[in-house]
Chain A
Amino acid sequence: MPTVSAAFAPLRNWLMAPSWLIVGFFLVLPVLLMLVYSFLTKEFRGGVIWEPTLAAYDQFLFDRGLFGDAPPRLQWAYIQIFFRSITQAAGATFFCLIIGFPTAYFIATRADNAKVVWLFLVTVPYWVNLLIRTVSMKFLIRDNGPLNEGLTALGLIDAPVQLINTNVAVQLGLFYSYLPFMVLPIYAAVERYNFALSEAASDLYAPKWIILRRILIPVVMPGIVAGCILVFVPSLGAFLAPDLLGGAKTFMIGSLIDEQFKGNAGNWPFGAAAAMILLLLVLIVLTLYARSQSRSKV
């Protein structure tokens, strides 16, 4: 192999160019743009005035009352919105993991041709647009929808269970939206797992629980972590499920930011600032994770 890579060495920079272009154009440039906008002055009814100010961050941190002239107090509103979104995302990640891990394990331990079928079945619903899937979820769980009518017909409940426009519905929507993002990485990890390790442990009289906890889970941990990140991060910014299934009664981070650009408020710098703070939070979590990973390897 070294001879091949040596042959490519002079071309290295050129071969890297597409990656740099993509990272620069689709990642660095938009984020820098948001960063700059978050420090600009809000223009009435959308847009910005090119005068630097900290007003957007000030609005995020301090509450000056309904009329904007009360003495500043710590602003809980946005912290609440962030906390609500983080809780929802954590819940979705938890449920995806609980269901996704056994599913992935099940698929990975089937015969090769059956694996293909199971994986296919997991991904089929995701060929349909997310919006349509979320709307159809709404049809399923509404008061006179098939779920409630089925349960009533079976005599399990007397009156419809209110699901639509509740947090349970939002959880369900997020769970359904992102489940494959949990199943697939874990599947990939379990597939590479050497089952001889389990057999060896079993020969040494390790009970099943210990094999799972001390051998299987640590070995497939990178897959679990990757799945958790892939579910948590998009759930955090999601606004389709909260809006359609939760009734849009309260802002999530995603809908709060959306409202600043599309809604009546038209406060672009504040939307940009909220997006930057969200980005910062995600980066902190990912950095902490990367740290703990590199430490455990050393």
Chain B
Amino acid sequence: MKMKVLSGAAALGLIAGSASAEGRLSIYHWFEYIPQEILDKFTAETGIEVTMDTYDSNEALLANLKAGKLGSYDVAVPGDYMVAIMKNEGMLDMIADGELANVSNVEDKWMNVAFDPGRKHSIPYQWGSTSFMVNRDVYSGDIRTTDIIFNPPEVLKGRINVLDNPAETLVLASMHLGIPQCTTDRDQLQALDDLVQGAKAYWASFNSESAKDVLVSGDVAAGMIYNGFGQKARLEGANVEYAYPRQGYIVWMDNVVLLKDAPNRANAIMFMDFLLEPENAAAVTNFARYTSGVKGVGPFLDPELKTSPEQNPPADAPAGSFIKVCDEAAQKVYDQIWTRLKQ
């Protein structure tokens, strides 16, 4: 904390001395997702003063922007499906051709993505997967199945955490049943409702922000988690293993977007270019333990990431799926299932 105050004071001094002309940059970001050193480095290179607020879910980001925060931030970092939603809501500004000097650093497979074809509004930040981890001291059997969460072995019953986020938890449940996302088939939706209603008896808690903490502390023996967050749990000493279930798992990508009515649009573009530098993208990856979508990060990466079981699915693992954006009719039923689940 003291360190932060000091670096904040240093940044302020810098502004007062040299940078008042260069101006500011206002970031709206996930909690614990960018290292302070990277922000300090950006300020040192450009003289731009950075301020950052954080949120804890894609939905909270959308809600706060809708409630009047649009126009006070320059960039935000929504996940894939939320980029599509925000684009439909008209919350994103267009990045003109040639505006980003480093756009050629984006990995080819992440250029033409379904949620933002041609990268008109966004650049990759980090990508990863969502499935679950199991404490191997408690259960040593097969964990590459979604049965672990929805039809668990006896020793795991009552010791499971799921993410407190309907999008992720209900999509994993759909994969368990083998039904498509955003389905409007009544039998399938009814089956989904029955499944989670029944499985709730096996779950100890609904927790997203402390998904790692509950695994490390041993409050639960299995829990849904993002792969990088899960790696942090393992590095903190818990004997937990990340699973790539055969039924499928969620793949996601977080993206830096240029917000509509950004007060410092030019600085936002500079920041995006800065994050597309391989060295800086690698620094974020080394901190967050996910995977960057930028070319040439290899030499700067923590060597452990290249072989870690969380980042490297086994050869026979299926491809993961992105979360789809449902239309209003389908979404209404999913909301209803979630409310019934927690009533």
* A residues at B contact (CB < 8 Å): 44-47, 66-68, 77-78, 80-81, 142-144, 164-165, 244, 247-251, 261-267
Verify A251–B186 contact, CB threshold 8 A.
Answer: no
Q: List 6 A-B contacts (CB under 8 A).
A: A46-B63, A77-B343, A80-B343, A248-B207, A262-B60, A263-B166
Q: For the complex, count residues of B whose C-beta is within 8 A of A.
A: 40
Question: If the complex has contacts A45-B85, A66-B189, A250-B342, are A165 and B335 also in contact, measured as CB distance less than 8 A?
Answer: no
Query: Counting CB contacts under 8 A, is B200 at the interface?
Result: yes
A56 to B210, alpha carbons, bound, how many Å? 32
Query: Which A residues are CB-close (under 8 A) to B167?
Result: 264
Verify A265–B66 contact, CB threshold 8 A.
Answer: no
Q: How far is the CB of B246 from chain A (nearest CB, A)?
A: 27
Question: If the complex has contacts A142-B217, A249-B203, are A264 and B338 also in contact, measured as CB distance less than 8 A?
Answer: yes
Q: Is the contact region of chain B dominated by helix, strand, or loop, or is it mixed?
A: helix
Verify A247–B337 contact, CB threshold 8 A.
Answer: no
Closest A residue by C-beta to B186: A67
Verify B217–A66 contact, CB threshold 8 A.
Answer: no
8 pairs of A and B residues whose beta carbons are closest in the complex: A247-B205, A77-B343, A248-B206, A265-B335, A264-B166, A46-B66, A44-B328, A251-B342
Verify A66–B164 contact, CB threshold 8 A.
Answer: no
Verify B59–A263 contact, CB threshold 8 A.
Answer: yes
Q: Is the contact region of chain A dominated by helix, strand, or loop, or is it mixed?
A: loop
Query: Which B residues are CB-close (under 8 A) to A44?
Result: 328, 331
Q: How far is the CB of A84 from chain B (nearest CB, A)?
A: 9
Query: Counting CB contacts under 8 A, is B18 at the interface?
Result: no
Closest A residue by C-beta to B220: A165
Verify B165–A249 contact, CB threshold 8 A.
Answer: no
Which of B63, B166, B207, B333 contacts A67 (CB under 8 A)?
Answer: B333
Give the contacts of B176-228 with A (CB-CB under 8 A): 186, 189-190, 193, 200, 203-207, 210, 217-219
Q: How far is the CB of A271 from chain B (nearest CB, A)?
A: 10
A220 to B88, alpha carbons, bound, how many Å? 61
Q: How far is the CB of A83 from chain B (nearest CB, A)?
A: 11
* B residues at A contact (CB < 8 Å): 57, 59-60, 62-63, 66-67, 85, 89, 164-167, 186, 189-190, 193, 200, 203-207, 210, 217-219, 328, 331-340, 342-343
A80 to B332, alpha carbons, bound, how many Å? 21
Query: Which A residues are CB-close (under 8 A) to B190?
Result: 66
Query: Which A residues are CB-close (under 8 A) to B67?
Result: 46, 261
A3 to B321, alpha carbons, bound, how many Å? 80
Query: Which B residues are CB-close (under 8 A) to A77?
Result: 339-340, 343
Closest A residue by C-beta to B190: A66
A298 to B215, alpha carbons, bound, how many Å? 61
Which of A143, A244, A261, A265 contacts B338 (CB under 8 A)?
Answer: A265
Closest A residue by C-beta to B343: A77
Closest A residue by C-beta to B86: A45
Q: How far is the CB of A163 from chain B (nearest CB, A)?
A: 11
A66 to B192, alpha carbons, bound, how many Å? 11
A67 to B218, alpha carbons, bound, how many Å? 39
Verify B218–A144 contact, CB threshold 8 A.
Answer: yes
Query: Which B residues are CB-close (under 8 A) to A47?
Result: 66
Verify A66–B59 contact, CB threshold 8 A.
Answer: no
A53 to B81, alpha carbons, bound, how many Å? 30
Verify A251–B343 contact, CB threshold 8 A.
Answer: yes
Query: Which B residues are CB-close (under 8 A) to A247?
Result: 204-207
